[in-house]
Structure 1
Amino acid sequence: MSEFHEVRLPARLAFGCTGGIERRTEVVTLASGFERRTSPWSQGRRRWLIATAARPLDEIAELLAFFEARGGRLAGFRFRDPADFKSCAPSGVTTAGDQAIGAGDGARKAFQLVKAYGTVSRTIAKPVVGTVKVSVAGVVLAASAFTVEATTGVVTLNVAPAAGAAVKAGFEFDAPARFDTDRLDVTLEGFAAGRVTACALVEVRV
Structure 2
Amino acid sequence: MSAFHEARLPARLAFGCTGGVERRTQVVTLGSGFERRSSPWAQGRRRYLIGTATRPLDDAAALVAFFEERSGRLFGFRFRDPADCRSCAPSMTPAAGDQAIGTGDGSRKTFALAKTYGDGATAVVRPIAKPVAGTVKVAVAGVVLGPAAFGVDTATGLVTFNIAPAAGAAVTAGFEFDTPVRFDSDRIDVTLESFNAARVGAVALVEVRV
Alignment correspondent of 2:26? 26
Alignment correspondent of 1:17? 17
Q: How does 1:35-50 map to 2 (within 5 A)?
A: 35-50=35-50
Alignment correspondent of 2:169? 165
Q: Alignment partner of 1:102: what SS? A: strand
**Counterpart Cα distance in 2 of 1:154 and 1:105:** 17
Q: How does 1:130-149 map to 2 (within 5 A)?
A: 130-149=134-153
Q: Alignment partner of 2:126: what SS? A: strand
Alignment correspondent of 2:202? 198
Q: Alignment partner of 1:28: what SS? A: strand
Q: How does 1:38-117 map to 2 (within 5 A)?
A: 38-117=38-117
**Counterpart Cα distance in 2 of 1:110 and 1:174:** 21
After TM superposition, give the deviation of residue 16 of structure 1 in Å.
Answer: 1.1
Q: Alignment partner of 1:72: what SS? A: coil
Q: 4+ residue runs of structure 1 moved beyond 2 angstroms? A: none
**Counterpart Cα distance in 2 of 1:103 and 1:52:** 45
Please, what is the CA RMSD of the aligned residues? Answer: 0.9
1:154-174 Cα distance to aligned partner (Å, 9 max, x none): 000111111110000000000
After TM superposition, give the deviation of residue 123 of structure 1 in Å.
Answer: 0.4
Q: Return the letter of the residue paired with 1:28.
A: V
Q: TM-score, normalised by structure 2?
A: 0.97
Q: Alignment partner of 1:49: what SS? A: strand
Residues paired across the two proteins, number: 206
Q: Alignment partner of 1:152: what SS? A: coil
**Counterpart Cα distance in 2 of 1:139 and 1:200:** 42
Q: Alignment partner of 1:71: what SS? A: coil
Q: Return the letter of the residue paired with 1:161.
A: P
**Counterpart Cα distance in 2 of 1:22 and 1:112:** 24
1:100-159 Cα distance to aligned partner (Å, 9 max, x none): 000001111100000001100100000000000000000000100000011000000111
Q: TM-score, normalised by structure 1?
A: 0.98
2:151 is equivalent to residue 152 of structure 1: no
Structure 1 runs not aligned, ≥5 long: none
Q: Return the letter of the residue paired with 1:97.
A: G
After TM superposition, give the deviation of residue 58 of structure 1 in Å.
Answer: 0.3
Q: Alignment partner of 2:168: what SS? A: coil
Alignment correspondent of 1:183? 187
2:178 is equivalent to residue 174 of structure 1: yes
After TM superposition, give the deviation of residue 190 of structure 1 in Å.
Answer: 1.1
2:111 is equivalent to residue 122 of structure 1: no
Q: Return the letter of the residue paired with 2:50.
A: I
